[in-house]
């Protein structure tokens, strides 16, 4: 397939491009699709498997059923549940098609899904196709392959690079179309303006070390469409240089144009550290002002300082309840320090 712009209706939130190539195989069994829905912008990449026409049929069914499942979802459902049900719907549709046509029996597909709206980005996946999230030049999120070799990575037996190069790297432990009950991994993530999400089949991520893939996907010198085409071309060229016969390759790149309403929660350790630092800093300033001045404070000034200490305690407790955002702490400290300076002048 040629390079395709995914999102043309409303580019205030995201812009996206996708490309799929046959690689060195007789047929392209990868499929992708994208749709603007009432829940947000939806994109999916699926990698089919099975003899004859099975793989292509399975991935095509998966894309169609996932999109329709999201579009037809009840308004009362949460988005994570909607994605799970859409993927499971695709699973049952592939099984049904295989039962109806003997030549398609046993076909299957991976599935990766990204649904992004103003609130957050929602990700679902089954198999070894991946979803990445990049910020700047770094990977900040990635799905974990449902494969035999990545189970060994989890156990610490082999590294991810060893898994990529393994002869068993294509043996997956979850897929659509195999069993009626399929487990779907889902995630909800925040995003910032300029973040990039990449959905890709293993023909992309299996073709080069991950560090090299990240470097290519986070290249900020090219527009997104040209970058999508360049990644596909680089993978294709690598395959041909290695003798051809390389896998189908599909990727979709989506870049955000604003920050999500969902903010990344601060860790408990960072919350506690910031609280302690704020308390130590401001209380130290209060006592140092009194000690260094060397004069007796008037009753009104002393009362004002005591009120400031009380405000510090109350504001700190309130701030903990409000998730201790760093910018709020800094603003609170600046305001209190300003009041303390005024009180210090009054002492003089």
134, part of any domain: yes
Which pLDDT belongs to residue 53? Answer: 86
Which structural domain range is residue 296 located in? 268-347
| DSSP state string for 278-307 | HHHHHHHHHHHHHHHH-SPPPHHHHHHHHH
Bridge-based pairing state of the strands 138-142 and 130-135: antiparallel
Which pLDDT belongs to residue 8? Answer: 61
Q: Is the Cβ–Cβ distance between 42 and 16 less than 8 Å?
A: no
Q: Please indicate, yes or no, whether residues 8 and 153 belong to a single structural domain of this protein.
A: yes
Reported pTM? 0.78
Q: Using alpha carbons, select from 3, 49, 105, 6 the residue that is nearest to residue 248.
A: 49
Q: Please indicate, yes or no, whether residues 247 and 279 belong to a single structural domain of this protein.
A: no
Q: Please indicate, yes or no, whether residues 86 and 193 belong to a single structural domain of this protein.
A: yes
- The sign of the CA dihedral 316, 318, 323, 328 is negative
Which pLDDT belongs to residue 29? Answer: 97
279, part of any domain: yes
Q: Please indicate, yes or no, whether residues 32 and 92 belong to a single structural domain of this protein.
A: yes
Q: Which residues on neighbouring strands pair with residue 16, listed in sequence order?
A: 254
Which pLDDT belongs to residue 324? Answer: 45
Q: What is the CATH number of the domain that holds 149?
A: 3.60.40.10
Extract the residue ranges of the chain whose pLDDT is less than 50.
Answer: 267, 269-270, 273, 286, 289-290, 295-297, 316-317, 319-324, 326
Which pLDDT belongs to residue 297? Answer: 47
Which pLDDT belongs to residue 155? Answer: 97
Dist CA 247 CA 20 (whole Å): 11
289, part of any domain: yes
Instruction: Please give the order of strands across the beta sheet that includes 196-200.
Output: 4-5, 14-21, 249-256, 196-200, 130-135, 138-142
Which pLDDT belongs to residue 314? Answer: 57
Q: Please indicate, yes or no, whether residues 169 and 198 belong to a single structural domain of this protein.
A: yes
49, part of any domain: yes
Which pLDDT belongs to residue 206? Answer: 97
């Amino acid at each position: 397939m040629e390079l395709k712009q995914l999102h043309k209706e409303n580019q205030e939130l995201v812009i996206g491009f996708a490309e799929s190539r046959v690689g060195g195989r007789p047929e392209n069994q990868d499929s992708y699709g994208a749709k603007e829905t009432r829940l947000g912008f939806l994109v999916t990449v699926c990698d089919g498997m099975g003899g004859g026409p099975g793989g292509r049929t399975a991935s095509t069914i998966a894309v169609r059923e996932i999109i329709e499942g999201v579009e037809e979802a009840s308004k009362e459902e949460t988005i994570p549940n909607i994605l799970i049900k859409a993927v499971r719907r695709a699973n049952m549709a592939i099984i049904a098609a295989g039962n109806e046509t003997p030549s398609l029996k046993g076909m299957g597909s991976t599935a990766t899904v990204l649904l992004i709206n103003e609130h957050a980005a929602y990700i679902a996946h089954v198999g070894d196709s991946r979803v990445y999230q990049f910020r700047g030049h770094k990977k900040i999120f990635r799905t974990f392959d449902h494969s035999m070799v990545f189970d060994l990575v989890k156990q610490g037996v082999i590294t991810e690079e060893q898994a990529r190069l393994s002869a068993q790297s294509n043996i997956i432990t979850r897929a659509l179309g195999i069993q009626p009950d399929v487990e779907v991994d889902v995630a909800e993530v925040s995003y910032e303006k300029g973040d990039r999400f990449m959905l890709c089949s293993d023909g992309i991520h299996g073709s080069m070390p991950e560090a090299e893939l990240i470097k290519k996907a986070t290249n900020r010198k090219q527009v997104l469409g040209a970058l999508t085409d360049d990644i596909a071309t680089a993978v294709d060229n690598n395959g041909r240089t290695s003798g051809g016969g390389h896998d189908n390759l599909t990727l979709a790149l989506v870049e955000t144009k604003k920050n999500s309403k969902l903010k990344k929660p601060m860790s408990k350790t960072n919350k506690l550290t910031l609280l302690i630092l704020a308390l130590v800093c401001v209380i130290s300033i209060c006592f140092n002002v009194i000690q260094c001045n060397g004069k007796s404070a008037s009753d009104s000034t002393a009362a004002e300082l005591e009120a400031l200490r009380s405000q510090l305690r109350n504001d700190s407790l309130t701030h903990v309840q409000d998730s201790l955002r760093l910018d709020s702490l800094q603003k609170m400290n600046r305001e209190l320090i300003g009041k303390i300076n005024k009180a210090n002048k009054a002492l003089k």
